[in-house]
Amino acid sequence: MQLLKYLQAQGLGSRKQCQALIDDDAVRINDTLCNHAQMDIDPKAVSSLYIDDVSLIPVPLPYFYILLNKPADYETSHKPQFYPSVFSLLPEPLRHLDMQAVGRLDADTTGVLILTNDGQFNHRCTSPKHKLPKIYRVSLKHAADEKLCIILKNGVLLHDDNETVTAQAAELIDPHTLQLTITSGKYHQVKRMIAAAGNRVTALHRSAFGLWQTDDLPAGGWRFFQPESGLM
């Protein structure tokens, strides 16, 4: 890949802006000054990238996968209405790259969220036929017992829907905390399932998406990952 195209793929600006960086001797890759737009860059061999002596995290190419520990009060949208976008949690210039969230989390829901520019991967993760498990920790308004778990595993009919939805697994951690595993991804599904079973959700955290977890990340933290080990 030519240097000019590589810098554009890193989200560093337009062709003209990236050319200016090159002309200004502002680009160093793997501790080597890179000042020729046509020089060949192997993205997989890039271990360090500096622009004007500022270290940037090289974005894997052609596809990248980001694991984000979403905090509350962020919208899973490029055009948020009421809260900041989850994409604003990423550093410059990464936040400006073309990417989508794999599924959505409500503004008040926290936990595992995947961002990527790989449309096929996104489809595999969200397609109902793949039944990728998602595990949630659900805080309940009313104290519950094993009856709630049985109802959820047997299936509930969601309001304004004509299809019964079942939980793959449901286990009470304590009377007000439920661990719930689902394999589909309907709109507000967990909240609607709990409501259909006669309770209410007061807080919701996605602790796992497939095999991916964010236990090693603080709220708002993120990291690149490779997806091979997470699809089930």
**Catalytic member of 31, 40, 53, 106:** 106
Q: Specify whether 106 is catalytic.
A: yes
| Long-range Cβ contact pairs of 24-33 (< 8 A, separation 24 or more) | 26/51, 26/52, 27/3, 27/51, 28/53
Q: In angstroms, rounded to a whole number, what is the distance separating the alpha carbons of residues 222 and 88?
A: 12
Beta strands in 168-215 (DSSP E): 169-174, 177-182, 201-209
Contact 115, 68 (CB under 8 A): yes
Q: In angstroms, rounded to a whole number, what is the distance separating the alpha carbons of residues 31 and 45?
A: 12
Residues with catalytic roles: 106
